[in-house]
Structure 1
Amino acid sequence: MFKLGLIVNPLAGIGGPAALKGSDGEAAAEAFKKGAGLRAPERAARAMDVIFHSLGGEAVTVLTCPGLMGESVARQCGFVPELVCDTDPLNTRPEDTEKAAGTLADKGVDLLMFVGGDGTARNICNVVSSRQPVLGVPAGVKMHSGVYAITPEAAGDVVCRLVRAALVDIRLQEVRDIDEMAFREGRVMSRYYGELLVPEEGRFMQQVKDGGREVEALVVGEIADTLIEEMDDDTLYLVGPGSTTAGLMAAMGLDNTLLGVDLIRGGQLLAADVSVTQIERELETFSGPVSIIITPIGGQGILLGRGNQQLTPAIIRRVGRDNLIVVATKTKITELAGRPLVVDSNDPQLDRDLAGYIPVLTGYRDRVLYPIGYGAT
């Protein structure tokens, strides 16, 4: 079941028809005085209609806020939403958006979809980490950020592709906003506020050769290059078995245990082909951050529980789901034909906790969002 978080900023875009160049601050009240009506709920409904009519109400669980901040639209489109925020739906403020975003992220939504403009994107960026996938439905006056779908319907289509386990890239995109006061004086002053992780339509863009097939050695090299760029010297990495992870070790000039687990930190090999006891002993004395780099078994999609049993449930819990770094070529993912990745940790509760959508590094700074199933075979 795909968990979709929904936040609607009902005031987004209200200043546009009133020629107010935005809806921040007192602009919304002024727009109401000029007879402007709400636009964002209608645009939210267009996105949610696509999702409901394409997938039905059973494939997606909608978590949202009361009234106009999401509940009304979800029910209008046929969903039975779960209300997880206690915001005031009749008097929404930026603080309400931030509170809702933080709550939904804490609930572990697979995708946080928000409806608004650049001001709304700023609110989301203030509280959501760069590891939480989000998607903006355009409804504002100012749309300088790169986190929005082209249309509400396009946003709905992206969600449908995610639920169907199609290849959907996810990339960090800029959140920008302009100074409304300066804009009303004819000056465009755009400012960078941060980045959010945004799904995009999946395409074979990296190393497409030989009649459209990936050249695996080149792609594995690109994955390794990205991992090396993103590695932190203070983090302990548990590198799982497989040819894709072996590519990382080769790129770092380190010996690799193709069928075992190796420990590296600060660009150095600490221990090779470690046992459960060795890993546990290392974790007992190491207080810093820990990550696991793993790749699924080709054709099977099994991520944990086959060939990497050294990564026990206790070790996986110690590391945490957010610190699982999954790597695979797009060819390997495509060959699953939409089947989810599988975890079989010998701990059913942990398998449930690991289920959901996770970023998969598939090329040079190229990631897709793909599901981990529970009970899949």
Structure 2
Amino acid sequence: MTALVGLVVNPVAGVGGAVGLKGSDGETTQRRAHRLGAVPRAGERAALALAELAARHPEELRLLTADGPMGAEAALVAGFRPQLVHRPGRRTSAWDTTATVRALRRAGVRLLLFAGGDGTARDVLAAEPGCPVIGVPTGVKMHSAVFAVHPRAAGETAAAHLSSGLPVHPREVVDLDEEALRRGRLGARLHGHLPVPELPLRIQQRKTGATTPDPAALGGIAAELRTFLPPGELLVLGPGSTTHQVAAALGAETTLLGVDLLRREGAGLQPLATDLGERELLDRLAGRSAWLALSPTGGQGFLLGRGNQQLSPAVLRSAGRSRLLVLATEAKLAALRGRPLHLDTGDPALDAELSGHHQVITGFRRRALYPAY
């Protein structure tokens, strides 16, 4: 029996990530991202998910989608001959997403794949898809629990569901106020739930908020971080409350949600530049070595690929695995309940290179080995 599968792609999802805009919502942000040299990658990540689906589900599949960058282009790259249910205009919008989802529902698709971020998940929710959905992560933040941990994991989960019927559970759709986010304020809102097939370790958890800070633990991490950084060394600091508070313990004022460049001076850190995009990072690090300090997202465990796309494969390779420092309190690691740290750099070869056990700084003279892949 032929399985009907729906696909909708938000072609502008994620364009604000690598250029440091902390989101992609709104035409103004999208135009600014393009001026800064952003390259849309939603289509290629959707194609990666479809290719994985086709490889794991050799039985006949019929793919229904929208024309052009909203699905057909990715489908053709993955080897599908899609049936079109919607033809968007030159500029796509949230209306096109909801129109496509409603057309797919009327066509009776058994499963819907959507490629985008939290804003796209909200649009899918509003359209009431009427079938299980799997989010292909192509946005910047992706705090919702409806996304696979990686595009290939989306295709793998889709194949397993179509083949054997996975259990389906309601998963949270959460979104942040991007304007507040750009001003350094976090404000998440639960918008509802979507039905998502469950395959262990393939579907991400919802992002949890920051726990009550433990000054002793964070001060201990700061003291231990000093042992890695000789005077004069450069440090690229990733976003998040853990890294922000560790930097503060070392006397540096940094951005909460941006990527900053600092230098070790005396017993502390001196900020050199804040809230940098990929291109600015590469320019400043040209011919220079630097350490890179990151903390995984709370509850989800993403080390790379969620909210820190400024740390592109080129930036990561300039630092190297040996200079990648992972910072997390023991409580933050315990909250993962044994789930690994996730890597989603957009470069499969780099993901493989960075996979394995990493040394995590959890306090002063306290370190733990924790897996990442």
- So what's the TM-score if we normalise by structure 1? 0.51
Specify the alignment match of 1:125 in structure 2: 125
Conserved? CA contact 1:87–1:100, under 8 Å: no
Within 5 Å, give how 1:68-83 maps onto structure 2: 68-83=69-84
Does residue 190 (structure 1) correspond to residue 188 (structure 2)? The answer is yes
Q: 1:86: Cα distance to partner?
A: 2.2
Within 5 Å, give how 1:278-293 maps onto structure 2: none
Unmatched runs of 5 consecutive residues or more in structure 2: 202-373
Specify the alignment match of 1:34 in structure 2: 36
- 1:47-79 residue CA offsets vs partner (Å, 9 max, x unmatched): 0111122234x5211000001111011111111
Runs of 4+ in 1 over 6 A off after TM superposition: none
Specify the alignment match of 1:160 in structure 2: 159
Conserved? CA contact 1:13–1:23, under 8 Å: yes
Question: 53, 56, 78: which is aligned to 2:55?
Answer: 53
Q: What is the rounded CA distance, in whole Å, between the counterparts of 1:29 and 1:101 in structure 2?
A: 26
Conserved? CA contact 1:168–1:202, under 8 Å: no
Paired residue secondary structure (2:194)? strand
CA RMSD of aligned residues (A): 1.5
Paired residue secondary structure (1:87)? coil
Conserved? CA contact 1:169–1:202, under 8 Å: no
- 1:6-34 residue CA offsets vs partner (Å, 9 max, x unmatched): 00111000000111110001211110011
Does residue 62 (structure 1) correspond to residue 49 (structure 2)? The answer is no
Specify the alignment match of 1:177 in structure 2: 175
Paired residue secondary structure (2:170)? strand
Specify the alignment match of 1:201 in structure 2: 199
- 1:226-263 residue CA offsets vs partner (Å, 9 max, x unmatched): xxxxxxxxxxxxxxxxxxxxxxxxxxxxxxxxxxxxxx
Q: Which amino acid aligns with 1:97?
A: T
Q: What is the rounded CA distance, in whole Å, between the counterparts of 2:195 and 2:53 in structure 1?
A: 21
Percent of pairs identical after alignment? 43
Specify the alignment match of 1:22 in structure 2: 23
Q: What is the rounded CA distance, in whole Å, between the counterparts of 1:106 and 1:175 in structure 2?
A: 23
Unmatched runs of 5 consecutive residues or more in structure 1: 204-377
- 1:265-319 residue CA offsets vs partner (Å, 9 max, x unmatched): xxxxxxxxxxxxxxxxxxxxxxxxxxxxxxxxxxxxxxxxxxxxxxxxxxxxxxx
Q: What is the rounded CA distance, in whole Å, between the counterparts of 2:126 and 2:57 in structure 1?
A: 32
Specify the alignment match of 1:104 in structure 2: 104
Q: 1:121: Cα distance to partner?
A: 0.3
Q: What is the rounded CA distance, in whole Å, between the counterparts of 2:100 and 2:160 in structure 1?
A: 25
Deviates further, 154-163 or 113-122: 154-163
Q: What is the rounded CA distance, in whole Å, between the counterparts of 2:139 and 2:120 in structure 1?
A: 8
Q: 1:202: Cα distance to partner?
A: 6.9
Q: Which amino acid aligns with 2:29?
A: A
Q: What is the rounded CA distance, in whole Å, between the counterparts of 1:182 and 1:202 in structure 2?
A: 34
Q: What is the rounded CA distance, in whole Å, between the counterparts of 2:200 and 2:183 in structure 1?
A: 40
Paired residue secondary structure (1:84)? strand
Specify the alignment match of 1:230 in structure 2: none
Query: Structure 2 vs 1, CA of residues 30 and 202 (structure 1 numbering), >3 Å: closer, same or farther?
Result: closer
Q: What is the rounded CA distance, in whole Å, between the counterparts of 2:61 and 2:93 in structure 1?
A: 28
Structure number with larger C-alpha Rg: 1
Q: What is the rounded CA distance, in whole Å, between the counterparts of 2:197 and 2:10 in structure 1?
A: 21
